Structure 1
Amino acid sequence: MNIKKSFLFLFIVLNSSFSHCQIEIFSQHITLDSIVNSASDELNVVVSHDGQLIYFTRKNHPENIGGTNDKGDVWVSEKSPNGNWSPSYNLKAINSPKSNTIIGFMNVGGTMVLHDADGFKLSYQKKGQWSKLTSFEIPYFNSKSKELTACVSSDGRNILFGMESFGSYGVEDIYISRLNSNGKWTSPKNLGSTINTPNQEITPFLAADNKTLFFASNGHGGEGSFDIFMSTRLDDTWQNWSPVQNLGPKVNTKGREQSFTFLPDAEFAYLSSTQNSDGYGDLKKVKISPDITPVEIEVDTTRVTDIVEEKNIVALSGSVVDKKTERKIIGAQIFVTTEPTNQEYKTLTNSDGEFNLSITEGNSYVVKIRAYQYMSSESVLT
């Protein structure tokens, strides 16, 4: 079939950059009301990348999988078109009678990272459904804490923990594990004495610049039992930090504040606080103005432009699948080279793990696939 088309390939390379984070707080706590909160303890807040979902851990609730003795299930609330939050509900597919804690996401909502009594887990979303949990390991991970708090950086390459472990300065300290180029995680590393004290440092949150850390502590002084603090990483050792700053009385109260989190362009930051709560800890928000420059990544796109020449076009479509689990992979990079012309085309798999390309006809096609935490694959089609 003859179709007049040409393809413009845009290779946008955005170098990683950091900026000093400034955040202004414009309001006192605004509660999310009983439509989201309960008489139980709500904590470990995670906001979805698009800001439309808020995930959290709820403790000892009668609707938890293990009932009131259940130390934690993951719950979720969705933002309605009018901007209000819908009634929260138990995300039963990923919960068990054991303690379940949400940590964050490895990509844009497609892979949830959790921790339970058996270790670290992943769950994959497809068409609104979450898969059964699969395990992954962090070498030499050894938490002595009854409860683990943690977060995943926005680029999915760092996990920070609040835990008591080897080398702790006191009780819980903040540690980091980083994802190597070989797809394996490093052993946890303590962030040092600027951040950590002989008391407790918990609920770390790394802003989208991968440089500015927010955490809760009862060891740096402040308004109440736990306050929210921030510090900026000064180099790539993850040991040198700016002096710790208290976020002030609009965020911190005489109660317990923790799990402070926000998106880079957000109007609100979310947190858990016991101050004036319906039960123990409730989810609340404060109006903010963040000055965050997110870590920028390389982006490859393929676009069809206006009609300029006549070519024979071949439609190429497929999906990228995990060989063991048969799970389709979201955001995998597809590189197709037409031979013998060596013309190259690029695209990404969509939210269903599928891709579609229109390419010029050739004798054969070399298809290369790259995906996060997977070995690359290459095949030749004729």
Structure 2
Amino acid sequence: MSHYSVEIMNRSYTTAFVLFLCSCAMAQKGYKKVHYQMLDEAKMLLASEDHEEAAKLYKRLLPVDPLFTEVQHDLGVCYANIPGKKDRAVEYFERGVEGGYTESFFELAVARHRQQRFEEALSLLDRYVQKSGRMVEDAEVERRRRMIHTAQERIGAPVELEIRNMGAMVNSPAHDYCPLVTADGNTMYFTSRREGTTGNMKDPYGQWFEDIYMARRIDEVWTNAVNAGAPLNTLVHDATVGLSPDGSSMIVYRTQQNLVSGDLYEARMHARKWQQPELMTARINSEHHEPSASIAPGSQEIYFTSDRPGGFGGRDLYRIRRLPSGEWSLPLNLGPTVNTPYDEDAPFMHSDGTTLFFSSNGHGTMGGYDIFKTVLTDADMNGWSEPENMGYPLNTVNDDIYFSLSEDGRTGYFSSERSEGMGMQDIYQVTFPNTQLDHMVVHGVVADASDEPIKARIILTDSSGEEIVGIYNSNERTGRFLMILKPQQEYQMSVEAAGFTALSSVVKAVAQDGSREMSLDITMQPVHDVHGLTRNEK
């Protein structure tokens, strides 16, 4: 299975399977026994997701009865799911709508959304919900409506930034994606499906197998990308996944020899050469699909994607930590603030250790995958800030994914399929006018006068004291806590702990050295010391 994935519409497969099981109630004009056999075979191929072969049969059936809208629609479904052929699907959905084929109204609405013809898309959805016997449930139709409205709103209020295609030195007419850039910004590894792959093989869609490529930046100019060669690349699919900030460790995705399943491997650099990638722990790799991962600073944590059971639906983001014994912990789901019933993918933990970027088609997206950021607010309690959409034009109505950010937070790299691109998915550079690391890390210890740690509850509100900004807990064993605040902002803070007098104070997120870290130790007094008598002694 290829590492590269786009949003697949499962409803298409369900529809195809149902139609395959149902025989045609009426004879089609010009159809003979051989044509019905061909139609059955095409539907079977479509139900098994073999879109390329199914499309060949549907194309042969088209001239037999050009008014057979079911064939027109099914051919559109095939093209919509074949890489590089989405645009060809539109005309067949249009014909399906002209012939009154129910599911074509929904599929054409999805296509119009992608074309940014938003009002037409909304109108088609309105017409679709009036149809009886439709395949797509109301919840999904409403979700599509929200995407369209979100796209309209964000395009109407663009974010200030500059985006440029990395050009022919890096990109090719084929898919190029998942850029991994070292923290110093001078070395990039990425995945490409261009001609010249190590195994010299193509998949059933005619795309070359994935290989890892490398480019270097010299005097602010990127050199021509070259194949990274062995041992990173093999005869099967090899794709970039994650890179440590110093570039000394890389996670790669590699398919098995059967080309169906795959696992994550870790390669380490020694004497400026990549060593043989080693299969990663079973805590990450499973019988399910783990396509993406990110190495946190210090290499003691790994964030990864998995569709294993027990999540919130679709693909979820997880974290594992290296234990004092050297073993990896059990995976921890990042929870419902980050994960949705849909798909979260492509995690990138910034070198600051607290800002996580990822892509999702389940949060407030413009369409497909959008890039979001969240901040780790409580490492012990798995607390994360509400994910923030990075806005248009970084995000579009198509898939925008595999985002990474420079150490200073001003330069990012990501993958996207855009009309101005060189072919399929390209790698882009984005430059922000201000750092995207717009938070202050406040850390400290809650203890008593004897420096004994205290388990305390810290409640932070805005300067007026009316809105709760965050609730944090200090560690019971160490007393340590960590808060994420907006720089230069003033907050009301209250600290509570059993047996200790509550404290109230004003905190301003300002670091003396101009950095984004601030130390704040809190000393609490026992109730007995403050009031002379405990409550039980009164």
Q: Same fold (TM over 0.5)?
A: yes
Equivalent residue runs for 1:2-151 within 5 Å: 26-59=160-193, 61-67=194-200, 68-69=202-203, 70-81=208-219, 83-93=220-230, 94-106=232-244, 108-117=246-255, 119-139=263-283, 141-142=285-286, 144-145=288-289, 148-151=291-294
Question: Compared with structure 1, are the counterparts of its residues 262 and 144 closer, same or farther at alpha carbon in structure 2 (3 Å cutoff)?
Answer: same
The question of whether the paired residues in 2 share the 8 Å contact of 1:141 and 1:188 is answered with no
Residue 186 of structure 1 deviates from its aligned partner by 1.6
Question: Aligned partner of 1:85: which letter?
Answer: W
Q: Which has the higher contact order (CA 8 A, sep 6+)?
A: 1
Question: Compared with structure 1, are the counterparts of its residues 287 and 71 closer, same or farther at alpha carbon in structure 2 (3 Å cutoff)?
Answer: same
Greater percentage in helix: 2
Question: Aligned partner of 1:79: which letter?
Answer: R
Equivalent residue runs for 1:1-382 within 5 Å: 26-59=160-193, 61-67=194-200, 68-69=202-203, 70-81=208-219, 83-93=220-230, 94-106=232-244, 108-117=246-255, 119-139=263-283, 141-142=285-286, 144-145=288-289, 148-237=291-380, 239-276=382-419, 277-288=421-432, 289-290=434-435, 292=437
Alpha-carbon distance in structure 2 between the residues aligned to 1:264 and 1:144: 33
Deviations 1:12-52 (CA, angstroms, capped at 9, x unpaired): xxxxxxxxxxxx96424211012101122222221113211
Question: Compared with structure 1, are the counterparts of its residues 90 and 158 closer, same or farther at alpha carbon in structure 2 (3 Å cutoff)?
Answer: same
What secondary structure, in the 3-state scheme, does the structure 1 residue paired with 2:169 have?
Answer: helix
Question: Compared with structure 1, are the counterparts of its residues 171 and 113 closer, same or farther at alpha carbon in structure 2 (3 Å cutoff)?
Answer: same
The question of whether the paired residues in 2 share the 8 Å contact of 1:44 and 1:149 is answered with no
Residue 157 of structure 1 deviates from its aligned partner by 1.4
Deviations 1:51-108 (CA, angstroms, capped at 9, x unpaired): 111111223x321223333542211111122x11111111111111222232334572
Question: Aligned partner of 1:77: which letter?
Answer: A
Question: Compared with structure 1, are the counterparts of its residues 238 and 202 closer, same or farther at alpha carbon in structure 2 (3 Å cutoff)?
Answer: farther
Question: Compared with structure 1, are the counterparts of its residues 294 and 143 closer, same or farther at alpha carbon in structure 2 (3 Å cutoff)?
Answer: farther
Residue 225 of structure 1 deviates from its aligned partner by 1.2
Question: Aligned partner of 2:318: which letter?
Answer: Y
Structure 2-normalised TM-score?
Answer: 0.47
Residue 232 of structure 1 deviates from its aligned partner by 1.5
The question of whether the paired residues in 1 share the 8 Å contact of 2:191 and 2:239 is answered with yes
What secondary structure, in the 3-state scheme, does the structure 2 residue paired with 1:36 have?
Answer: coil
Alpha-carbon distance in structure 2 between the residues aligned to 1:55 and 1:162: 20
Structure 1-normalised TM-score?
Answer: 0.65
Structure 2 runs not aligned, ≥5 long = 1-157, 257-262, 442-538
The question of whether the paired residues in 2 share the 8 Å contact of 1:114 and 1:120 is answered with yes
Residue 191 of structure 1 deviates from its aligned partner by 0.7
Question: Compared with structure 1, are the counterparts of its residues 294 and 153 closer, same or farther at alpha carbon in structure 2 (3 Å cutoff)?
Answer: farther
Alpha-carbon distance in structure 2 between the residues aligned to 1:141 and 1:166: 13
The question of whether the paired residues in 1 share the 8 Å contact of 2:176 and 2:190 is answered with yes
Q: In terms of mean alpha carbon deviation, does 156-165 or 132-141 score higher?
A: 132-141
Alpha-carbon distance in structure 1 between the residues aligned to 2:373 and 2:246: 25
What secondary structure, in the 3-state scheme, does the structure 1 residue paired with 2:168 have?
Answer: helix
Greater Rg, structure 1 or structure 2? 2
What secondary structure, in the 3-state scheme, does the structure 1 residue paired with 2:240 have?
Answer: strand
Question: Compared with structure 1, are the counterparts of its residues 31 and 200 closer, same or farther at alpha carbon in structure 2 (3 Å cutoff)?
Answer: same
Alpha-carbon distance in structure 1 between the residues aligned to 2:358 and 2:283: 24
Alpha-carbon distance in structure 2 between the residues aligned to 1:25 and 1:261: 18
Aligned to 1:328: none
The question of whether the paired residues in 1 share the 8 Å contact of 2:359 and 2:401 is answered with yes
Aligned to 1:367: none
The question of whether the paired residues in 2 share the 8 Å contact of 1:141 and 1:187 is answered with no
What CA RMSD, in Å, does the superposition of the two structures yield over aligned residues? 2.6
What secondary structure, in the 3-state scheme, does the structure 2 residue paired with 1:203 have?
Answer: strand
Question: Compared with structure 1, are the counterparts of its residues 140 and 28 closer, same or farther at alpha carbon in structure 2 (3 Å cutoff)?
Answer: closer
The question of whether the paired residues in 2 share the 8 Å contact of 1:226 and 1:258 is answered with yes
Question: Aligned partner of 1:137: which letter?
Answer: T
What secondary structure, in the 3-state scheme, does the structure 2 residue paired with 1:155 have?
Answer: helix
